[in-house]
Amino acid sequence: MPNSTAHNYPTPAMATRKTLGEAVTCTATGVQSGRQLTLALHPASAGTGLQLTRTDIGKQWPISPQTAFAAGPGTAVGNSQDHVLFMEHLLAALAAAGITDLIIEISGPEIPLFEGGAVKLWEMIQSATIKSLDREIAPIVLSQPVIISSIDYSLYAVPDETPAYYYLFSSEHPLIGYQWASFVPATDDFGQELAPARTFIAIEEAEAARQAGMLKGGSTKNAIVIYPDRLSETPALPQAFARHKLLDLMGDLYLLGRPIQAHIIGSRSGHQQNHQLVQRLAEISQHQANPALR
Protein backbone atom coordinates (compact mmCIF):
# COMPACT_ATOMS: atom_id res chain seq x y z
CA MET A 1 0.00 0.00 0.00
CA PRO A 2 1.39 3.47 -0.79
CA ASN A 3 2.64 5.65 2.07
CA SER A 4 -0.30 7.37 3.77
CA THR A 5 1.30 10.80 3.25
CA ALA A 6 1.95 10.36 -0.47
CA HIS A 7 -0.27 11.94 -3.12
CA ASN A 8 0.90 10.26 -6.31
CA TYR A 9 -2.40 10.40 -8.14
CA PRO A 10 -2.69 8.43 -11.41
CA THR A 11 -3.41 10.31 -14.60
CA PRO A 12 -7.21 10.65 -14.83
CA ALA A 13 -9.17 9.39 -17.83
CA MET A 14 -10.99 12.52 -18.94
CA ALA A 15 -14.70 12.30 -19.76
CA THR A 16 -16.88 14.54 -21.90
CA ARG A 17 -19.35 16.72 -20.01
CA LYS A 18 -22.98 15.98 -20.91
CA THR A 19 -26.45 17.41 -20.50
CA LEU A 20 -29.89 16.63 -21.90
CA GLY A 21 -30.90 17.50 -25.43
CA GLU A 22 -34.23 18.95 -24.32
CA ALA A 23 -36.33 19.55 -21.21
CA VAL A 24 -38.51 16.75 -19.85
CA THR A 25 -41.15 16.77 -17.10
CA CYS A 26 -43.42 14.37 -15.24
CA THR A 27 -45.87 14.43 -12.34
CA ALA A 28 -46.25 11.90 -9.53
CA THR A 29 -47.27 11.63 -5.87
CA GLY A 30 -44.68 12.20 -3.16
CA VAL A 31 -44.31 9.20 -0.86
CA GLN A 32 -43.81 11.19 2.33
CA SER A 33 -45.85 14.32 1.66
CA GLY A 34 -48.67 12.76 -0.38
CA ARG A 35 -48.51 15.84 -2.62
CA GLN A 36 -48.69 15.86 -6.41
CA LEU A 37 -45.22 16.89 -7.50
CA THR A 38 -43.84 18.01 -10.84
CA LEU A 39 -40.26 17.07 -11.65
CA ALA A 40 -38.55 18.88 -14.54
CA LEU A 41 -35.08 18.28 -15.96
CA HIS A 42 -33.62 21.11 -18.07
CA PRO A 43 -30.48 21.23 -20.24
CA ALA A 44 -27.60 23.31 -18.91
CA SER A 45 -24.39 24.73 -20.34
CA ALA A 46 -20.98 23.20 -19.68
CA GLY A 47 -19.67 24.00 -16.22
CA THR A 48 -23.10 24.57 -14.68
CA GLY A 49 -22.93 21.33 -12.73
CA LEU A 50 -26.04 19.80 -11.18
CA GLN A 51 -28.38 22.48 -9.84
CA LEU A 52 -31.56 21.88 -7.82
CA THR A 53 -34.53 24.26 -7.46
CA ARG A 54 -37.62 23.87 -5.26
CA THR A 55 -40.10 25.86 -7.29
CA ASP A 56 -42.74 25.93 -4.53
CA ILE A 57 -40.51 27.99 -2.23
CA GLY A 58 -38.09 29.52 -4.72
CA LYS A 59 -34.95 28.00 -3.17
CA GLN A 60 -31.98 26.79 -5.22
CA TRP A 61 -28.90 24.77 -4.30
CA PRO A 62 -25.94 23.34 -6.17
CA ILE A 63 -25.89 19.57 -5.66
CA SER A 64 -22.66 18.93 -3.80
CA PRO A 65 -21.23 17.31 -0.66
CA GLN A 66 -21.66 20.68 1.08
CA THR A 67 -25.42 20.91 0.45
CA ALA A 68 -26.32 17.22 0.96
CA PHE A 69 -26.99 15.14 4.05
CA ALA A 70 -28.40 11.76 5.01
CA ALA A 71 -31.99 12.19 6.12
CA GLY A 72 -33.64 9.06 7.49
CA PRO A 73 -34.43 6.76 4.58
CA GLY A 74 -32.69 8.81 1.91
CA THR A 75 -30.42 11.63 0.83
CA ALA A 76 -31.51 15.25 0.98
CA VAL A 77 -30.12 18.39 -0.65
CA GLY A 78 -30.69 21.79 0.94
CA ASN A 79 -30.69 22.52 4.65
CA SER A 80 -32.47 21.21 7.75
CA GLN A 81 -35.43 23.52 7.21
CA ASP A 82 -35.79 23.59 3.43
CA HIS A 83 -34.59 20.66 1.36
CA VAL A 84 -35.47 17.98 -1.18
CA LEU A 85 -35.47 14.35 -0.03
CA PHE A 86 -34.90 11.14 -2.04
CA MET A 87 -32.27 12.54 -4.39
CA GLU A 88 -30.35 9.24 -4.64
CA HIS A 89 -32.29 7.44 -7.39
CA LEU A 90 -32.22 10.44 -9.70
CA LEU A 91 -28.52 10.97 -9.04
CA ALA A 92 -27.81 7.31 -9.79
CA ALA A 93 -29.56 7.61 -13.15
CA LEU A 94 -27.64 10.81 -13.95
CA ALA A 95 -24.37 9.10 -13.00
CA ALA A 96 -25.12 6.14 -15.26
CA ALA A 97 -25.95 8.49 -18.15
CA GLY A 98 -22.85 10.62 -17.53
CA ILE A 99 -24.92 13.80 -17.08
CA THR A 100 -22.70 16.47 -15.53
CA ASP A 101 -24.69 19.66 -16.17
CA LEU A 102 -28.42 19.88 -15.49
CA ILE A 103 -31.10 22.09 -13.94
CA ILE A 104 -33.45 20.00 -11.78
CA GLU A 105 -36.76 21.53 -10.70
CA ILE A 106 -39.18 19.96 -8.22
CA SER A 107 -42.39 21.50 -6.90
CA GLY A 108 -42.10 20.14 -3.36
CA PRO A 109 -39.95 18.60 -0.61
CA GLU A 110 -39.11 15.28 -2.26
CA ILE A 111 -38.33 13.55 -5.54
CA PRO A 112 -41.16 11.08 -6.23
CA LEU A 113 -40.16 7.46 -5.71
CA PHE A 114 -42.34 6.36 -8.63
CA GLU A 115 -42.10 2.54 -8.65
CA GLY A 116 -39.40 2.57 -5.97
CA GLY A 117 -36.45 2.24 -8.34
CA ALA A 118 -35.03 4.38 -11.13
CA VAL A 119 -36.97 3.07 -14.15
CA LYS A 120 -39.13 6.16 -14.64
CA LEU A 121 -36.18 8.49 -14.07
CA TRP A 122 -34.05 6.54 -16.54
CA GLU A 123 -36.85 6.68 -19.12
CA MET A 124 -37.11 10.45 -18.66
CA ILE A 125 -33.40 10.90 -19.30
CA GLN A 126 -33.40 8.62 -22.34
CA SER A 127 -36.49 10.29 -23.83
CA ALA A 128 -34.81 13.69 -23.67
CA THR A 129 -31.68 12.30 -25.35
CA ILE A 130 -28.17 12.97 -24.07
CA LYS A 131 -26.09 15.82 -25.50
CA SER A 132 -22.29 15.96 -25.35
CA LEU A 133 -20.81 19.33 -24.43
CA ASP A 134 -17.59 20.91 -25.67
CA ARG A 135 -15.71 20.47 -22.40
CA GLU A 136 -14.17 17.65 -20.41
CA ILE A 137 -14.39 16.64 -16.77
CA ALA A 138 -11.74 14.76 -14.84
CA PRO A 139 -12.74 11.87 -12.58
CA ILE A 140 -11.64 11.63 -8.98
CA VAL A 141 -8.64 9.29 -8.81
CA LEU A 142 -7.11 7.66 -5.75
CA SER A 143 -3.52 6.99 -4.79
CA GLN A 144 -4.56 4.57 -2.03
CA PRO A 145 -7.74 2.98 -0.64
CA VAL A 146 -10.25 5.01 1.34
CA ILE A 147 -11.96 3.02 4.09
CA ILE A 148 -15.12 3.70 6.12
CA SER A 149 -15.72 0.83 8.54
CA SER A 150 -16.84 -0.40 11.95
CA ILE A 151 -17.82 -3.76 13.41
CA ASP A 152 -21.25 -3.36 11.73
CA TYR A 153 -20.42 -2.13 8.21
CA SER A 154 -17.66 -1.46 5.72
CA LEU A 155 -17.32 0.76 2.68
CA TYR A 156 -14.18 0.89 0.55
CA ALA A 157 -12.97 2.95 -2.39
CA VAL A 158 -10.03 1.12 -4.00
CA PRO A 159 -7.90 2.65 -6.79
CA ASP A 160 -8.59 1.15 -10.21
CA GLU A 161 -8.61 2.42 -13.78
CA THR A 162 -12.07 0.97 -14.42
CA PRO A 163 -14.88 2.31 -12.18
CA ALA A 164 -17.03 -0.42 -10.64
CA TYR A 165 -19.47 -0.84 -7.76
CA TYR A 166 -20.04 -3.87 -5.51
CA TYR A 167 -22.40 -4.46 -2.60
CA LEU A 168 -22.94 -7.27 -0.10
CA PHE A 169 -26.34 -7.29 1.59
CA SER A 170 -27.28 -9.58 4.44
CA SER A 171 -30.52 -10.12 6.32
CA GLU A 172 -31.74 -12.58 8.92
CA HIS A 173 -35.05 -12.80 7.06
CA PRO A 174 -35.28 -16.32 5.57
CA LEU A 175 -36.61 -15.00 2.25
CA ILE A 176 -33.67 -12.61 1.80
CA GLY A 177 -30.47 -13.95 3.37
CA TYR A 178 -27.15 -12.99 1.73
CA GLN A 179 -27.13 -11.13 -1.58
CA TRP A 180 -24.33 -9.78 -3.76
CA ALA A 181 -24.51 -7.32 -6.65
CA SER A 182 -22.04 -5.55 -8.93
CA PHE A 183 -22.22 -2.89 -11.61
CA VAL A 184 -19.55 -1.76 -14.07
CA PRO A 185 -20.70 1.48 -15.75
CA ALA A 186 -18.59 0.94 -18.88
CA THR A 187 -20.15 -2.43 -19.75
CA ASP A 188 -23.33 -3.06 -17.74
CA ASP A 189 -26.86 -1.91 -18.61
CA PHE A 190 -28.20 0.41 -15.92
CA GLY A 191 -31.74 0.32 -17.31
CA GLN A 192 -31.88 -3.46 -17.07
CA GLU A 193 -29.61 -4.32 -14.14
CA LEU A 194 -30.08 -1.57 -11.53
CA ALA A 195 -32.96 0.75 -12.38
CA PRO A 196 -35.69 -1.91 -11.72
CA ALA A 197 -34.32 -2.70 -8.23
CA ARG A 198 -37.04 -1.32 -5.96
CA THR A 199 -36.75 0.15 -2.50
CA PHE A 200 -37.91 -2.01 0.38
CA ILE A 201 -39.19 -1.54 3.92
CA ALA A 202 -40.13 -3.81 6.81
CA ILE A 203 -43.82 -3.67 7.71
CA GLU A 204 -42.91 -2.58 11.26
CA GLU A 205 -40.97 0.41 9.90
CA ALA A 206 -43.78 1.30 7.52
CA GLU A 207 -46.39 1.25 10.28
CA ALA A 208 -44.22 3.36 12.57
CA ALA A 209 -43.66 5.90 9.79
CA ARG A 210 -47.38 6.14 9.11
CA GLN A 211 -48.11 6.70 12.80
CA ALA A 212 -45.52 9.50 12.77
CA GLY A 213 -47.38 11.22 9.92
CA MET A 214 -44.97 10.10 7.21
CA LEU A 215 -45.57 7.94 4.14
CA LYS A 216 -48.75 9.82 3.28
CA GLY A 217 -48.36 8.67 -0.32
CA GLY A 218 -46.62 5.38 0.32
CA SER A 219 -47.93 2.02 -0.84
CA THR A 220 -46.79 -1.28 -2.31
CA LYS A 221 -46.73 0.52 -5.67
CA ASN A 222 -43.50 2.28 -4.71
CA ALA A 223 -41.82 -0.19 -2.34
CA ILE A 224 -41.52 -3.88 -1.57
CA VAL A 225 -42.90 -4.49 1.92
CA ILE A 226 -41.19 -7.14 4.01
CA TYR A 227 -43.54 -9.13 6.25
CA PRO A 228 -42.37 -11.74 8.78
CA ASP A 229 -43.48 -14.58 6.50
CA ARG A 230 -43.59 -13.08 3.00
CA LEU A 231 -42.75 -10.21 0.67
CA SER A 232 -45.45 -8.00 -0.80
CA GLU A 233 -44.27 -9.18 -4.22
CA THR A 234 -41.51 -11.23 -5.78
CA PRO A 235 -38.66 -8.90 -6.84
CA ALA A 236 -38.24 -8.45 -10.58
CA LEU A 237 -34.47 -8.98 -10.39
CA PRO A 238 -32.25 -11.59 -8.75
CA GLN A 239 -30.27 -10.25 -5.78
CA ALA A 240 -32.77 -7.39 -5.82
CA PHE A 241 -32.09 -6.01 -2.34
CA ALA A 242 -28.32 -5.84 -2.91
CA ARG A 243 -28.96 -4.20 -6.28
CA HIS A 244 -31.12 -1.53 -4.68
CA LYS A 245 -28.47 -0.75 -2.07
CA LEU A 246 -26.02 -0.46 -4.96
CA LEU A 247 -28.40 1.95 -6.70
CA ASP A 248 -28.47 4.12 -3.56
CA LEU A 249 -24.68 3.96 -3.25
CA MET A 250 -24.15 5.10 -6.84
CA GLY A 251 -26.58 7.96 -6.36
CA ASP A 252 -25.06 9.19 -3.11
CA LEU A 253 -21.55 9.15 -4.57
CA TYR A 254 -22.71 11.27 -7.51
CA LEU A 255 -23.15 14.14 -5.08
CA LEU A 256 -19.55 14.72 -6.13
CA GLY A 257 -20.77 15.41 -9.69
CA ARG A 258 -17.82 13.53 -11.18
CA PRO A 259 -16.93 9.94 -12.05
CA ILE A 260 -14.77 8.09 -9.52
CA GLN A 261 -11.86 6.12 -10.95
CA ALA A 262 -12.06 3.35 -8.34
CA HIS A 263 -13.79 0.20 -7.23
CA ILE A 264 -16.43 0.99 -4.58
CA ILE A 265 -17.26 -1.92 -2.27
CA GLY A 266 -19.98 -1.76 0.37
CA SER A 267 -21.18 -4.24 2.98
CA ARG A 268 -24.11 -3.48 5.32
CA SER A 269 -23.48 0.23 4.71
CA GLY A 270 -26.17 2.85 4.11
CA HIS A 271 -26.69 6.54 3.46
CA GLN A 272 -24.76 7.68 6.54
CA GLN A 273 -21.65 5.76 5.49
CA ASN A 274 -22.08 6.79 1.86
CA HIS A 275 -21.97 10.43 2.94
CA GLN A 276 -18.86 9.84 5.02
CA LEU A 277 -17.15 8.42 1.94
CA VAL A 278 -18.37 11.34 -0.15
CA GLN A 279 -16.77 13.79 2.28
CA ARG A 280 -13.46 11.90 2.18
CA LEU A 281 -13.49 11.78 -1.63
CA ALA A 282 -14.36 15.48 -1.77
CA GLU A 283 -11.20 16.22 0.22
CA ILE A 284 -9.15 14.18 -2.24
CA SER A 285 -10.80 15.99 -5.14
CA GLN A 286 -9.86 19.33 -3.60
CA HIS A 287 -6.24 18.26 -3.32
CA GLN A 288 -6.19 17.20 -6.95
CA ALA A 289 -7.68 20.52 -8.05
CA ASN A 290 -5.22 22.55 -5.94
CA PRO A 291 -1.60 21.36 -6.30
CA ALA A 292 -0.57 23.64 -3.42
CA LEU A 293 -2.49 21.34 -1.02
CA ARG A 294 -0.58 18.20 -2.10
pLDDT at residue number 219: 85
* Given 173, 271, 275, 287, the catalytic residue: 271
Say how many domains are in the chain: 1
- Mean pLDDT, rounded, for 203-217: 86
Band of residue 279 on the pLDDT scale cut at 50, 70, 90: very high
Per the domain annotation, does 3 fall within a domain?
no
Q: Show the beta-strand stretches assigned E in the chain.
A: 15-20, 24-29, 36-43, 50-54, 59-62, 68-71, 74-78, 83-84, 102-106, 130-137, 140-141, 146-149, 154-159, 164-170, 178-183, 200-202, 224-226, 260-267
pLDDT, tens digit (0-9, with 9 covering 90-100), for 221-233: 899 999 999 999 9
CB 282 within 8 A of CB 65: yes
Per the domain annotation, does 129 fall within a domain?
yes
Q: What's the pTM value of the predicted model, to 2 decimals? A: 0.93
Per the domain annotation, does 71 fall within a domain?
yes
Per the domain annotation, does 6 fall within a domain?
no
pLDDT at residue number 2: 39
Percent of the chain with pLDDT over 90: 81
Per the domain annotation, does 250 fall within a domain?
yes
Is 263 assigned a catalytic role? no
Q: Is residue 13 scored above 90 in pLDDT? A: no
Per the domain annotation, does 7 fall within a domain?
no
Band of residue 218 on the pLDDT scale cut at 50, 70, 90: confident
Per the domain annotation, does 78 fall within a domain?
yes
CATH code, domain carrying 206: 3.30.1700.10
Per the domain annotation, does 259 fall within a domain?
yes
pLDDT, tens digit (0-9, with 9 covering 90-100), for 106-148: 999 999 999 999 999 999 999 999 999 999 999 999 999 999 9
pLDDT at residue number 8: 53
- Give the residue numbers spanning the domain of 37: 15-293
